[in-house]
Amino acid sequence: MKNTPVSTDIIRAKIKESGLDVVGKGSIREIVFLISEIEKASGVKFIRMEMGVPGLECSPIGINAEIEALQKGVASVYPPMEGLPALKQETAKFLKLFANAEFSPLGCIPTVGSMQASMAAIMVSNRCFEEKNTTLFIDPGFPVQKLQVKSLGLKQESFDIYNFRGEKLWSKLEGYLQKGNISSILYSNPNNPSWVCLTEKELQIIGELANKYSIIAIEDLAYFAMDFRQKIGTPGKAPFQPSVRQFTDNCIVLVSGSKVFSYAGQRIGIMAIPDNLFKRRFENLKVYFGTNEFGHSVIYGSLYGLSAGTSHSAQYAMAAMLKAANEGKYKFIDEVKEYGIRAKIMKQLFTDNGFMIVYDQDEDRPLADGFYFTIGYPGFTGSQLMEELIYYGISSIALDITGSEKEGLRACVSMFQLNQADELARRLKLFREHH
């Protein structure tokens, strides 16, 4: 029997207790719980790469603003459903200054994390037309968003973008849209889990097809401006975060406070809807929300039904961080560049020990170093590799659950500390010796 860093008996017992038939098919949170249980039972600290938890301290700008708001008594007052005026205004400015994207404060709506924003966007987008009840995912993608569609009783289709970059994306997308059942296209940029970054040309294709087929592009910018190959981060100056908003009014842009501001614990995000879509009327919406206006359906239909508002104090925090960024006082991108440094080191350690990077190119450019990367190993499926690495004290998720057609794993860099590099190298070397 191979001598691995973590006890085989403990791992097998905990897997059995978990109830997971195939560990590699487990959800992210199920894997988090499983690894935590193995750590407690074995006493071995894992190299944890399974969950995208911010690994940096959050800004004192947000903390101080939230404390001040709480001291003024906002905790006893329901927040306005449409959001604090200051937050709406700073969001519109932020998207203009850093993405060159036009939104009015009207359509900038706070949500309980961008996960709630995607839930609301899916819920309303799929009810605009009776015959359009299907969300098309550009995969690989965040598994929970597919769970949202499923839990709402709606339909979904998907394809892996790997072989359909650039001009090829047009014909691939149109093949789905021509059927007439697609209501929305959902994707993240940079992409979770592959860290693929869609180009301006690809976003133009999505935008033009959204116009042609009257569908809604739901653009998840959870990792806003984190393509570190570009020097995004100076207010009002190029380069900007690429966005489909440049090419269509038929879009909803999701912004998260969790990653770029490391404000994950307070669950604060924003959905931004262009005025033309916000005010657009769809008769089928009346059946579900009592109104035919899109924006009204989002705020007083879906969001009201989901949580009746977003944390009052967290809105003050988000508004303060956005304001500081807009004024050039908060260099938020400088802080999160740490993730790129970690990714570069980790990728080198894996490839030095026989692993390959699964998603490695953005068309003709090497992929950026960022919050995630993907790895594979000869002779292993993603699920097999994910489970085998547990015995070596390394946790991740299999690409299977993200809609990827590739075999491999998603590795998140956020919980990795640079002082763990030697230990990761030791465990990977041992894995290679055994395989």
* Chain segment 279-330, per-residue pLDDT in tens: 999 999 999 999 999 999 999 999 999 999 999 999 999 999 999 999 999 9
Task: Note the pLDDT of residue 52.
Answer: 83
Task: Note the pLDDT of residue 364.
Answer: 83
DSSP, res 302:
I
Alpha-carbon distance of 199 to 205, in angstroms, equals 10
Q: State mean pLDDT over 148-154.
A: 94
Q: Which amino acid is at 114?
A: S
Using the predicted structure, report yes or no on whether residue 104 has a pLDDT greater than 60.
yes
Among 298, 302, 291, which Cα is nearest to 277's? 298
Beta strands in 263-342 (DSSP E): 269-272
Q: How confident is the model at residue 55 (pLDDT cuts 50, 70, 90)?
A: confident
Are residues 47 and 394 in contact, defined by beta-carbon separation less than 8 angstroms?
yes
Q: State mean pLDDT over 47-74.
A: 94
Alpha-carbon distance of 251 to 177, in angstroms, equals 16
Alpha-carbon distance of 333 to 95, in angstroms, equals 15
How many helices (H) and strands (E) the chain has is answered by: 17, 15
Task: Note the pLDDT of residue 56.
Answer: 87
Using the predicted structure, report yes or no on whether residue 111 has a pLDDT greater than 60.
yes
Q: What is the pTM of this model?
A: 0.94
Rounded to the nearest angstrom, the gap between the alpha carbon of residue 141 and the centroid of all alpha carbons in its chain is 8
Q: State mean pLDDT over 378-382.
A: 96
Task: Note the pLDDT of residue 143.
Answer: 87
- Averaged pLDDT of the chain: 95
Alpha-carbon distance of 81 to 92, in angstroms, equals 17
Using the predicted structure, report yes or no on whether residue 76 has a pLDDT greater than 90.
yes
* Chain segment 233-262, per-residue pLDDT in tens: 999 999 999 999 999 999 999 999 999 999
Q: State mean pLDDT over 186-202.
A: 94
Q: How confident is the model at residue 1 (pLDDT cuts 50, 70, 90)?
A: low
The two structure tokens encoding residue 161: 């973008």
Among 265, 252, 269, 280, which Cα is nearest to 307's? 269
Query: How many CA atoms lie within 13 Å of 392's alpha carbon, on the beta-carbon side?
Result: 22
Residue 427 DSSP SS3: helix
Q: How confident is the model at residue 53 (pLDDT cuts 50, 70, 90)?
A: confident
Counting Cβ atoms within 10 Å, is residue 409 exposed (0-12), middle (13-18) or buried (19+)? buried
Are residues 117 and 111 in contact, defined by beta-carbon separation less than 8 angstroms?
yes
Are residues 210 and 185 in contact, defined by beta-carbon separation less than 8 angstroms?
yes
Rounded to the nearest angstrom, the gap between the alpha carbon of residue 104 and the centroid of all alpha carbons in its chain is 24
Q: Which domains does the chain have, with CATH numbers?
A: 8-45+337-434 (3.90.1150.100), 60-326 (3.40.640.10)
Q: Which amino acid is at 349?
A: L
CA distances from 270 to 292, 422, 433 (A): 22, 39, 47
Q: State mean pLDDT over 98-110.
A: 98
Are residues 278 and 107 in contact, defined by beta-carbon separation less than 8 angstroms?
yes
Alpha-carbon distance of 376 to 143, in angstroms, equals 19
